[in-house]
Every structure is written in C-alpha cells, then in structure tokens.
Structure 1
Amino acid sequence: MTTCSSASARRAVITGLGVVAPGGVGTKAFWEMLTAGRTATRPITLFDASPYRCRIAAEVDFDPEREGLSPKEIRRMDRAGQFALVATREALADGGLDGDGAAGLDRSRAGVSLGSAIGSSTRMEEEYVAISDGGRDWLVDHRFAAPYSYSYIAVSSLVTEVAWAARTEGPAVVVSAGCTSGLDAVGHAVQLIEDGTADVMIAGSTDAPLTPITMACFDALKATTPRNDDPAAGCRPFHRDRDGIVLGEGAAMFVVEEYEHARRRGARIRAEVLGYANRANAYHMTGLRPDGAELAEAIRAALGQARLDPSDIRYVNAHGSGTRQNDLHETAAVKRALGAHAYDVPMSSIKSMVGHSLGAIGAIEIAACVLAIEDGIVPPTANLTVQDPDCDLDYVPLVARTQDIGAVLTVGSGFGGFQTAMVLSEAGRAA
C-alpha cells in the first residue's frame, strides 16, 4: 500500500463505529472496561487447552442468537464473520446508515475494506478435523464437509457478508497483513475516499484465532505467556517481567466517510483520519530491529500527511504486545520519530486488557482512540506495576488518565515485518 496523499482536498472522517471485544459486546461495554482498567483475560473455555503451554486468552462472551443473528447466518458464518456482522450493524446504526437513514446513499460509491489475519480459521479447523477423522486420514473424505466449507477457506467471504449487510455496491477488498490488518484496512478505505473512488466505506477488521492450531503455533514460537496461574495479569506490556502475548479475539467496524458527504447528510463526525502510512522491515519473519527505524519512518510519514509536528500528538496508542523485543522496538521507534516529545506524551497498551486479536486488534485500537478523543480519557496499561527501565516512556500504568486529547497516534507491528502508523484527530479538524 502507498501512503495517503497529504495534498488531497477530500478528507476522511469516521461517522460510525461498532465493537465486539473481550469483556463486552458493543462500544459502550468495551469503553467502560478499558477506562476502568479491567482485564478480560481468563482460562480458555472455548476448547480443552490443557495440553498447551499457554492456557489463557481474552475471549468474547458472544451469543450470536442474542446478538440478533438468524439461524441461517449462524450456520453459514464462522465466528469471525459473526463478529464482523454484529460490529457492522452497530457501526451502521451509529452512523445513521441503517434503515431509512441509508435511503439516499449512492451504493455504487459505498464499499467495504475488511482486514483479517487468519480468516474463518475456527470453522476451517473444525471442518478439517471432521473430514480427516481427527487428523488420522491423509486423504480426507469430502462427503463429510459442510456446505459452506469453501467459504471458510476464502477470506473474501467475510467481505461478502459485510457488503451484503451494508448493501454496498462499490469497492470490496480484504486486507490480510498479519497483525496490522485492521489499521491497513481502515487506511485503505481512507485512500479510496481521498482519491475519489468512494464516498463511504465500511471498514475494519475481525479475527477469531482462539483455536487449538493457533495456540499450538504460538506455543511453538514461545510468543505467548506461560503465566497460567494468574490470567488477569498475563499480558503485561512494558513490565520488567513481561514474558509474552495473550491471544484475544473480536472485531471493530467503522463508517469511514468523505467529510463533505457526511456534513451534507448531517452525520455526527466522531473523528478524522489525518494520516496513514506503512512500511516493511525486510528483515525477519517474526524478528524486529531494535532501533525501530522502519516503524519510526511510518510514524514520520503519517505525521507528514497530517501536517502535524510531533508535539501535536497528545496520546500514543501503543502496539504494546507484551513481548520483550516488541516493547523495546516500539519504545525506540517512538523516541526516534517524536524526539524529545516522546518523553512528554502519554502512551498505553489496551492489549493488556483485551489481548492480541491478531488482524482484529488494529481496528479495535482505532475504536479506543476515537473514544479517547471524544471523552478526553487515556486508557491505562493494566498490570504495569514494575516498569522495565529500558522502556522509559510514560505508559499510563494501571489507572486511566483524564486530559485534553487533540491528535492521537496509533501504531501496529505484524509478523512479516509490517509496520503501520495512523494519526487521528478530534471531529472535523480543519485541513
């Protein structure tokens, strides 16, 4: 992906949002949990995790029937698709584009940009177990496959579900860039609006990675914490004794809209996306350079598009995964990009509370940034009781902080060397 054009006369704003996250379904429950500093990490209940090194995760308490999904939708869609659909419906309602509110929408200029790292992995794994007789048979028996098995393999099926729900007829794209997928999907939507391809984009990301095979993969990497005896304190970004991520799940979806289009229809503008950029480190599939140079470059590029100085940033939403190398890499990148201001700006990681939902987390963190801007509250970094002396910035430990927030920087890192930065501001900031 390229960076957004800072010279564009068209501006991209967020007019609706919906969240499905650990600790509560819906934006209100999500934000109440974050601002209270509560963690949603607990022993895994979705499957028997007893054979695994890490046996804790941040699960969503999700009843698809209670959330309004029909029996056909429940049968047809993987858990990740169900998350996306519920979050989309909330975003459309919040943005005034449900029911009669969408009557005047030019659907050919409305599209979908959806991020996901691993797609419909829950159902895909279940199907493989069934048709291979628990993995015993090398040649699987297709007669036992469910009617929708192909859609579980094709990540594009998730985009189809969102487009059907929103009744969009414009651009439809899936962005799968590992853990930066959510940021990149929203960034791509912004680009389509800025270049005039679309006026409205339903954008965000979803993932439901809490499956045996995903846990086994992260066990093999030793990327997850073994802190099973204290689940609530399992994810501890920037802590002296941090020892790995806690996996999570969820989705966040947004109505991203051209500013004048939103103003004409009287939409509530919740935030503006001022800048977006991504880079790759071309270094290692899972490793990171300690100097954070490529992430710092993405931050500088996003600030340049936003036409902001580093000192204009009032909050940094950290990737903050809780691994030893990531937290050091990110700290170095923020110092490199923001200079002396890095020591003055508050920074925090919501993964300490909602876990790391792979491709979904970038969009969930954008939702947290929008709410932080609106309410003037910086969510805390839970579990940060003893700070690593090598991580020496202001990570807002334990308790949320009230302050005026004008512009926010949110960043993400992903396997494969992906590094993404986005700058958001208060509603309707003049270009």
Structure 2
Amino acid sequence: MSSARVVVTGIGVVAPGDPGTKAFWEMLTAGRTATRTITFFDPSGFRSRMAAECDFDPASEGLSAQEVRRMDRAAQLGVVAAREAWADSGLGQDVAPERVSVNLGSAVGSTMSLEEEYVVLSDGGRRWLVDDAYGVPHLYGFMAPSTLAAEVAWSCGAEGQVGLISTGCTSGLDAIGLGARLIRQGTADVVVAGATDAPISPITSACFDAIKATSPNNDDPEHASRPFDLNRDGFVLGEGAAVLVLEELESARRRSAAIYGEIAGYASRSNAFHMTGLKPDGREMAEAIRAALDGARLDPSDIDYVNAHGSGTKQNDRHETAAFKRALGPRAHEVPVSSLKSMVGHSLGAIGAIEAAACLLAMRDNVVPPTANLHTPDPECDLDYVPLTARDQRVDAVLSVGSGFGGFQTAMVLGRGER
C-alpha cells in the first residue's frame, strides 16, 4: 500500500434541522438543538417520544417523483448529500468513471420503507402470512442495504468499486477510513465516502425503548440530549447523511481544488465483550486512538480538538472519558472535547460521517463546536467538554471517535491538507 496522502475536496450534509452543509454548520456553531417530539408517526405509546428530524423535502432537493418512489428515505438523504459533495469538489467529468468508487455506511438500511411495507403486506399486523401481492416493485431494494450505495454511485456516475459498510454506529467513520485505503492501495483515484441512516420509525423506537437506551425526557425534547451531564438519561434518536469526496493530495493540488483537510489516521478495534456493554477502562477505544495517531504520525500533544462519540448514556460517556485519558495522557485534560449529538441526536450509522464533516469545518473556520445542554457536569466526566458555547481557537488536527453496538471502536485523525 502506498503512502499517498488522502484529502477531502467535497462535503455534503443533510442533518437534523435545515438541509445543507452551510445550515448544518451554522446550527452547530450557534449551539442550537434540533431535537423535538417525533412527527413521522404517533409516538404517544412509546417510552421515548422525541428525535432529531431533518426538515427534508426530497422534491425541493431536486429528486424526481420516480426517485422518491424508488428510494427509501435513507437513500434520499444519502443521494442529496452525495450530490452536494460532488458539486462542492468541482470534479465534474475530470476523472474516469471506472476510477471513482463509493464507500457508504449505514447501520439499519431502509428501515422506514421495510416497516411501512410490512404493515401493508400483513394488513396492519393481522396476518401472520403476508400477502406479497401488495408489495411495491422496489421491495427487494429495501431489503438489500447495498441498494443505498448503488443509488449514491448512480448519482455520481461512479463505475469503480462500490460497497456498503455496516458496523453499527461506527459505520460512517469506517466507510471514510476504508475509502481512504482504496486510494492508497491504488484501487481508485476518487472515493465518494460517507454514511446515511433514517431510523426514526416505530420499530426502531420500540427496540431502543426495550433496552432503555433513549431518553424519556419527553417534556423537554430540546434539552433531552445531555452528553457528559450529571442528569443525562439516554440518547436521542436522529437521522441524516454526510458524504465526503476523497482524492490523493497531489491530484487535488494539480487541479487547484479547495482542500478541507486530510484523512491522516484511521483505526478500528473490537472489544469482543458484549453486544451493548462497554468495559469501563476504555481499553479498546484507547488502542484505536493510539493506532490512528501512529498512522497520522502525530502525538497526543498535536491534537487540538476531540470530537467525542458522546451519546449521552452514562455507560458510554464514562467509557470514552477513560479512553481519552488512557490514550492521550495529560493532554486529555488540556484539549477541548465536545459531542455534536447534543444538537443533532444520534443518527446511528450516519453520525460518524456527519461528525467527520463537522471536524473538517472546525479546521476550516478554527471553531470548536460546543456540547449543548451541559449544565451540571458529571464528576466522573472531568474533561473540558466545551459546554453550551462554541470556542474560537486554532484547529490543525482533530481526533474523532465512534463506539457502536457489537463492541466496535473506531478512531480517525483529520489534519490540514497543507501540513
């Protein structure tokens, strides 16, 4: 594998709140939250009745009526984000289509359409044997998660390797990290990498209700997502997509492309321990962080900002606080750390890509986004979590981490491309 440096030349985001990268970044830097009572279905019978929904109209975003009929909402979000990223990169027809690859992440695929179709085919759940005669022609596409990656590939004219990464809540970071490897190993010249998930549905809400992972603070949904706060009581479900355009540094320079930053280091580990449980010492996440730093040839002292997984569960927040201390040593108490899930909720597989986009924008503007709703710090979480208000400071290197059901632990280091 070559030592080629892989940079980001295009960003596309569809996140809770208004769509588009500009609106997303303005919301984060203002410390505004997009969590609210669920509007997609009647949530009255659920323990947790709120989510971070995208104010997304597919027709307004340029999707045709046929595309809307064919695609699950997750595919729609991913395609719109990919189109924005591709336009932002300025590539156009400058690259051979067979040298363009797609790496897309998703944790739960076409959940919304699958559930909607099951309700119809089972006559509202009354029939044990479903009647396939009522199925839509695109039902198979909803069943196959790879359809999401195929839709993004079609939207970009990508004829190279196309893949779907599904590693739970680390899917977005893993899709980007593995996409960078495709360039380094010579498989592709350009990789469209990111993730999408649209899980706000009755079945998803019921699943998280069952394990009491989501917040029951329904009377105040705007402030329900409270990572690292003493009074936090679970995460808030979200949705969204983010896509990055990756290419080799010298190629980007030759065409005078604007460079957001570099995928400098990436590593993933498994705790081989429990589907939802985490070891309190954070050892596996710490090992992923160390490996990502080694890949970037950076020391803990070089990191200017840490984007935390910060889900808002007591187990996770304590686990990654321990991991930061274990991997970064004294620097853990000096570097600012924040959780974007306090504002955009937890969009499962998509969130890692959404956070990676935010990290690149933090370097562009030298701004560290805040952790919203952090009013009463948990004494066991004793790092600098940038409460409530964004912070202006120089950001040259960022560490972003993810932690997913199944024991997945991923770390990525992003740096300035001109370094």
Q: Distance in 2 between matches of 1:205 and 1:69?
A: 19
Count of residues paired in the alignment: 419
- State the Cα distance separating 1:224 from its structure 2 match: 0.3
- State the Cα distance separating 1:193 from its structure 2 match: 0.7
Tell me if structure 2 keeps the 8 A contact 1:13–1:428.
Answer: no
Matched, 1:241 2:215: no
Q: Distance in 2 between matches of 1:191 and 1:165?
A: 22
Residue in structure 2 matching 1:129, options 112, 115, 119: 119
- Corresponding residue of 1:350: 340
Q: Distance in 2 between matches of 1:401 and 1:311?
A: 19
Paired AA for residue 25 in structure 2? W
- Corresponding residue of 2:146: 156
- Corresponding residue of 1:36: 30
Tell me if structure 1 keeps the 8 A contact 2:121–2:132.
Answer: yes
Tell me if structure 1 keeps the 8 A contact 2:12–2:20.
Answer: yes
Q: Distance in 2 between matches of 1:259 and 1:137?
A: 57
3-state SS in 2 of match to 1:87: helix
Tell me if structure 1 keeps the 8 A contact 2:237–2:346.
Answer: yes
Paired AA for residue 30 in structure 2? A
3-state SS in 1 of match to 2:267: strand
Tell me if structure 2 keeps the 8 A contact 1:10–1:196.
Answer: no
Residue in structure 1 matching 2:97, options 97, 107, 117: 107
- State the Cα distance separating 1:266 from its structure 2 match: 1.8
Report the TM-score when normalising by structure 2.
Answer: 0.99
Tell me if structure 2 keeps the 8 A contact 1:202–1:255.
Answer: yes
- Corresponding residue of 1:94: 88
- Corresponding residue of 1:329: 319
The 5 Å alignment of 1:73-222 reads 73-97=67-91, 102-222=92-212
* Structure 1: unaligned runs, 5 residues or longer: none
The 5 Å alignment of 1:255-294 reads 255-294=245-284
Q: Distance in 2 between matches of 1:257 and 1:137?
A: 51
- State the Cα distance separating 1:237 from its structure 2 match: 0.2
Matched, 1:27 2:39: no
- State the Cα distance separating 1:427 from its structure 2 match: 2.6
Paired AA for residue 33 in structure 2? T
Paired AA for residue 99 in structure 2? R
- State the Cα distance separating 1:262 from its structure 2 match: 1.2
Paired AA for residue 70 in structure 1? S
3-state SS in 1 of match to 2:304: strand
3-state SS in 1 of match to 2:238: coil
* Deviation digits for residues 14-57 of structure 1 (CA, Å, limit 9, x no counterpart): 00000000011000000000000000000000000000000011
* Deviation digits for residues 219-265 of structure 1 (CA, Å, limit 9, x no counterpart): 00100000000111100000001100000000000101111121122
The 5 Å alignment of 1:352-371 reads 352-371=342-361
Paired AA for residue 269 in structure 2? R
Report the TM-score when normalising by structure 1.
Answer: 0.96
- State the Cα distance separating 1:127 from its structure 2 match: 0.5
Tell me if structure 1 keeps the 8 A contact 2:190–2:245.
Answer: yes
- State the Cα distance separating 1:200 from its structure 2 match: 0.3
- State the Cα distance separating 1:104 from its structure 2 match: 2.8
- State the Cα distance separating 1:9 from its structure 2 match: 2.5
- Corresponding residue of 2:331: 341
Paired AA for residue 151 in structure 1? G
Paired AA for residue 257 in structure 1? E
3-state SS in 2 of match to 1:24: coil
Q: Distance in 2 between matches of 1:261 and 1:404?
A: 27
Residue in structure 2 matching 1:49, options 43, 49, 52: 43
Q: Distance in 2 between matches of 1:316 and 1:23?
A: 24
Tell me if structure 1 keeps the 8 A contact 2:288–2:411.
Answer: yes
Matched, 1:376 2:366: yes
Matched, 1:396 2:386: yes
Tell me if structure 1 keeps the 8 A contact 2:249–2:417.
Answer: no
- Report which stretch shifted further, 258-267 or 340-349: 258-267
Q: Distance in 2 between matches of 1:261 and 1:353?
A: 36
Q: Distance in 1 between matches of 2:305 and 2:395?
A: 7
